[in-house]
Amino acid sequence: MSMNKIAIWALLGAILVAMTTPVTSQEETAPIVSFMIDVDPSPSPTYEEIRSAEANLHTIFGEITKRDGTGTILLIQDVTASRIRLMLAQYSFLSTFEFAVSGKHSDDKLSTLTLSEQEALITKSIEYAESARVCGKSEVNVTGFMPPSFDQNEDTFRAIDNIGFAYDAGFQAGLIYAPGHEEDVWPYLVEGYNFYAVPISTVNVSGVLMPLYDKKMAEEGVGADEWTEILEAKFDEAAANDEPVVVVVCTSVSGDGEFLDALKEFLDYAVSKNAAFVNARDLVTMSKTGSLTPPEPTVSECATCGEDEVGDIAITLVETLAPELGNETAENATEEIEA
């Protein structure tokens, strides 16, 4: 084979590689981190459980936003039909966090439902989530989905495709993947559908491949200190390979205690390495465009909003009366975070 032919084949090979991986610009790119916050009260939660999930969500949200970060909040109907919706409305107006939807309860098994049942349930989830807005000031456009406990099937794919979702985050790199995408760590278009799969990052823990998912780690006996080490090691590995770190943290695990401390430590580590935080929707955009530079963050605003109408507003966690307390006095605001 002549040297000219060898050069041509080498060029073609380089082009094919470039077509499947986001392109690095000449400027140094920031490591990419995408947090997904799973608001996960127990199935059919009590009022106290909702209050706990609300407080823990606000804590995680605050830790990320105080470091100029963003992410995706995963919502079930038990959450968006509760008092938490009022706080979510403030998030939708004052932050770049996006909302993605799931099932009705945290233990839903979508794969046991028919296509029409799944489509109806998910559509209702969207309606609840998109109602978490500040009337006249912001709009919520839900484009993302994650099935509870990663449980889904082909009918789920058809349902979310019929509805028009942009992505499905019910995938794990090397563990749960569409055919031919076992090695993919960036979002990819699922063959036969119009939505993208967003793989949760995975890591080898004692010889077992596991998702970067705090609840799964805790269930398998991984402690908070080890969880921090796992996150930091994965961050370094991903940064060296121009790959994103996609991690799921639950309000029930990382909302307080030692796992919250681990989250803070990892956030500080990522910030020290000049990480860029993106939500899942922007991660999909980066994969589509082949860019390693995150798109400019945006807040969805209502078309009728006027700039002169927007005043100084802070996101506040407010204690209200429990239904069973009647007219008894409840304690007021416990914490305030400026967005």
Domain count, the chain: 1
What is the rounded radius of gyration, in angstroms, for the C-alpha atoms of the chain?
21
Residue 12 lies inside a defined structural domain of this protein? no
The confidence band for 189, taking pLDDT boundaries of 50, 70 and 90, is very high
Q: Which domain holds residue 232?
A: 27-337
The confidence band for 183, taking pLDDT boundaries of 50, 70 and 90, is very high
pLDDT digits (tens, 9 = 90+) for 10-56: 443 443 334 445 544 434 689 999 999 999 999 999 999 999 999 99
Q: What is the pLDDT of residue 317?
A: 57
The confidence band for 136, taking pLDDT boundaries of 50, 70 and 90, is low
Residue 269 lies inside a defined structural domain of this protein? yes
**CATH number of the domain residue 204 falls in:** 3.20.20.370
Residue 8 lies inside a defined structural domain of this protein? no
Between these two residues, 13 and 215, which has the higher pLDDT value? Answer: 215
pLDDT digits (tens, 9 = 90+) for 159-168: 999 999 999 9
Q: What is the pLDDT of residue 15?
A: 38
Share of the chain above pLDDT 70, in %: 78
Residue 11 lies inside a defined structural domain of this protein? no
Residue 309 lies inside a defined structural domain of this protein? yes
The pTM is what? 0.83
Residue 7 lies inside a defined structural domain of this protein? no
Q: Exposed e or buried b for every residue in 168-179, given b needs 16+ CB within 10 A?
A: bbbbbbbebbbe
Q: What is the pLDDT of residue 82?
A: 96
Residue 103 lies inside a defined structural domain of this protein? yes
Residue 87 lies inside a defined structural domain of this protein? yes
Comparing 130-144, 205-219, 228-242, 312-326, the range with the smallest average pLDDT is 312-326
